[in-house]
A and B are shown apart, each in its own frame.
Chain A
Amino acid sequence: MGEQLVTSSFSTASTVVADQPVIAVTSLTVRYGAVTALREVSLEVGRGEIVGVLGPNGAGKSTLMRTIAGVHKPVTGQVLLEGRPVVGGAPEKAARAGLRLVPEGRRIFGPLTVEENLRIGSMSRGSTLKDDLEAAYDRFPILGERRSQSAGTLSGGEQQQLAIARALMAHPTVILYDEPSLGLAPRIVDQIFELIAHLRDEGVTSVLVEQNARLALDLSDRAYVLGSGSITASGKSSDLAKIDLAQLYLGKGAQR
C-alpha cells in the first residue's frame, strides 16, 4: 500500500475505486428554493482514502457534506454509500450505514454533559457502550477529566475533540469533517489533523472540507476544488499543491 502511494496515489485510488468506492456521488444538484447550491457535482472516495474538498466561502462545500450525509434531498443525481443510495432527508439512515459527519461549528450538545454527548454518538449501536467510552477517554484524556461537565464549558479545541470522539463512538467506516480547523489555534489544528491522519491509518475513510487549502492538501491523498457549486479542479493533492491557490479557486489548472 505504501509503495503504491509513492508511485501514484491516483492509480492507487482508481484501483481501490474499481473495487467499490465507499462514497460515489454522481451529478448531484442541490437547490435551496431558487438558489442552486450544487450543480452536477460528481466525486468518488475510495476505501481508506483522505479526500479533500477545497473552495472559497459559499462554494457549496458544507451543502455537499450535508447532502452526502442525507440531510438534504438532491434535485438530481445521487449519493451511493457502500453501493447503497443515501436517502435524502433521512440522515439517520446514512448514520446507521456507518457514516458520520463532524459538522461545521462542531454542533456538540452544549447543555448536556461530555459523557451524554458521547452516549448519543453510540445511539445507532446496541450496547457495548462501556468499552467505547473507555476507548474515547483513552484517546482524549481531557474528555475523561471533564466527563460530567456540560459540553458547552469546553474550549473550542476540546469541543472539536468531543465532536470527533462522538463520531467515533459509532465505529464509523467513513467520517466527513466539515471545517475542523475553523476558529482553532494553530497548535490545536495540528493535533486535530494528526488525529485525522491517525484515524485513517486505523482504516477510517475520510472526507475533509477545508477553507485552509494548504492544510488540506498536506493531509489528503486527493482533492476536489469547488467553486460556486461546481467542481472546478481535481487531482492528486501533491499536484494541486503546486498550483497557485487563487488560480485553483478561479478554476484554472483543472485536470478533469
Chain B
Amino acid sequence: MTQFLQQLINGLSLGSIFAVLALGLAMVYGTLGILNFAYGELIAITGYTMYFATQAGLSFWLSALIGAVAAAVASILMQLLVFRPLQGTGFVTLLFASFALSQVLQGIFRQAISPRAKGIPAPEVLSNVFEFGGLRISVLNVVTFVVAMVSLGLFALFMRTSRSGLQMRAAALDLTTTRLQGVSAGRVILLAFALSGILAGIAGVLWISRTGTVTPTTGATPILVAFVAVVLGGLGSTVGAVVGGFVFGILEVFLEAYLPSGVVPFQFAFALIAVAVVLFARPEGLFGKAVEVKV
C-alpha cells in the first residue's frame, strides 16, 4: 500500500508536468488545427536560456523565470515567422513546416552551442526529501505538482472569465464563425501561440529541474509525451489533454515500478502500447468527440 501511494505521488508529479505540456500543444491545435512538432524545441529553448542565465550568475529561480518567458517569445516568433506566412496552405504543409522547424532548431543548438549536454544545477533545497508515514516525498515533486496545478488553474480561470478566453474558446469551436463576429483571427492565433509558449516554458522549467541538463534533443521526449497525451485525451479537447497528461504520467511511473526489472528499459514502449489499446477501444480519445476533420 505504501509502495502504491509512493508511486501514485511520483506519478501525479510527473503527470502534472505532462498535463501542462499537453495543454500547451493542444492550445495551438485547438485554434489553428495544426500539431506544432517544434513545440518540443520550446523546452530546449527554456533549458538553454536557463543554462546561459545561470552561467551569467543569475539565481536558479530568476533563470527559470527568464527561461519560461523565452519559450513564450519563441512560440510567438514561430507563429509570426513560420506559420503565418504559410497560412491557408493546408494541414500537411504546416505539419511538415513544424517538423522542419524542429530539425533546424536542433541543428542550431548543435552547431551554435554544443552537441553535448549542458548542466543546469538545481538548488539543493529541491532535492531535499521529507518522510511522511513511510512515504518519501521530494521537495521537487511537491513544487512541481503545486506549480503545475496553479498554472492549470490560472489557465482555466483565464479561459473561462476573460474576454480573450471566450474568443479563444469560440475560435477553437468554429474559427470562421468567430471571425464573422468581428474577432480577429490573427490576434486569436497569436494569443494561442503565446499561451502555448508560456505553458511550454512552465513545463520546460519543471522538466529541466528534473533532468538537470539540456541537450539539442531535449525536446524529443516532451513533444512525444505531449502528442501522446493529446491524442489519448482526444484531439481538440483541452480538458482531454490535461487528463491525458496525468494518465500517461501515472502510467509511466507505475510501469517503471511494477514491470519485471528485465523489461523496465522498455517502459515507455509499454506505456505507448497501453495508449494504443485505449485508442483501439475509443479512437476519438478519452474526451474527444466523434471524428471531426479539421482542414
Binding site for B on A (CB under 8 A): 69, 71, 89-92, 95-96, 100-101, 103, 107, 109-112, 116, 119-121, 123-124, 166, 170
Contact = CB atoms under 8 A, between A and B. Distances in A.
Given A120-B167, A120-B178, A123-B163, A111 B173 contact: yes
Given A92-B182, A92-B184, A123-B182, A103 B169 contact: no
A112 B170 contact: yes
B176 interface: yes
Given A112-B169, A120-B166, A107 B181 contact: no
A109 B174 contact: yes
B182 A101 contact: no
Contacts of B185: 92
Contacts of B163: 119, 123
B166 A92 contact: no
Contacts, number: 61
Nearest to A167: B181
B49 to A, nearest CB: 35
Given A107-B174, A109-B177, 7 more contacts: A71-B180, A92-B180, A109-B169, A116-B170, A120-B167, A123-B183, A124-B183
Interface string B81-118: 00000001000000000000000000000000000000
B210 interface: no
Interface of B: 88, 163, 166-167, 169-170, 173-174, 176-185
B167, B170, B176, B180 — most chain A CB neighbours (10 Å): B180
B179, B182, B184, B185 — most chain A CB neighbours (10 Å): B182
* Secondary structure of the B contact surface, majority rule: helix
A92 B173 contact: no
B180 A109 contact: no
Contact of B180 (A89, A95, A110, A112): A95
Contacts of A120: 166-167, 170, 178, 181, 183
B182 A96 contact: yes
B101 to A, nearest CB: 25
Contacts of A124: 181-183
A22 to B, nearest CB: 17
A92 B176 contact: no
A95 B166 contact: no
Contacts of A116: 166, 169-170
Contact of A112 (B88, B173, B179): B173
Nearest to A170: B182
B166 A91 contact: no
B170 A103 contact: no
Contact of A95 (B167, B174, B179): B179
Given A116-B166, A120-B167, A123-B167, A109 B182 contact: no
A69 B182 CA distance: 11
A71 B176 CA distance: 8
A103 B166 contact: no
B176 A91 contact: yes
B270 to A, nearest CB: 35
B173 A110 contact: yes
A109 B183 contact: no
A223 to B, nearest CB: 24
Contacts of A111: 173
A14 to B, nearest CB: 30
A101 B185 CA distance: 17
A119 B167 CA distance: 9
19 contacts: A71-B176, A91-B180, A92-B184, A95-B179, A95-B180, A95-B182, A100-B180, A103-B177, A103-B180, A109-B174, A110-B173, A112-B170, A120-B166, A120-B178, A121-B181, A123-B182, A124-B182, A166-B181, A170-B182
Nearest to B188: A92
Contacts of A121: 181
Contact of B181 (A89, A110, A123): A123
A195 to B, nearest CB: 20
B255 to A, nearest CB: 34
Nearest to B160: A116
- 4 tightest CB-CB pairs across the interface, nearest first? A124-B182, A95-B182, A107-B177, A91-B179
A103 B181 CA distance: 11
Given A119-B166, A120-B167, A95 B181 contact: yes
Contacts of A95: 179-182
Contacts of B173: 109-112
A71 B180 CA distance: 8
A101 B167 contact: no
Nearest to B289: A111
Contacts of B174: 107, 109
Nearest to A127: B163
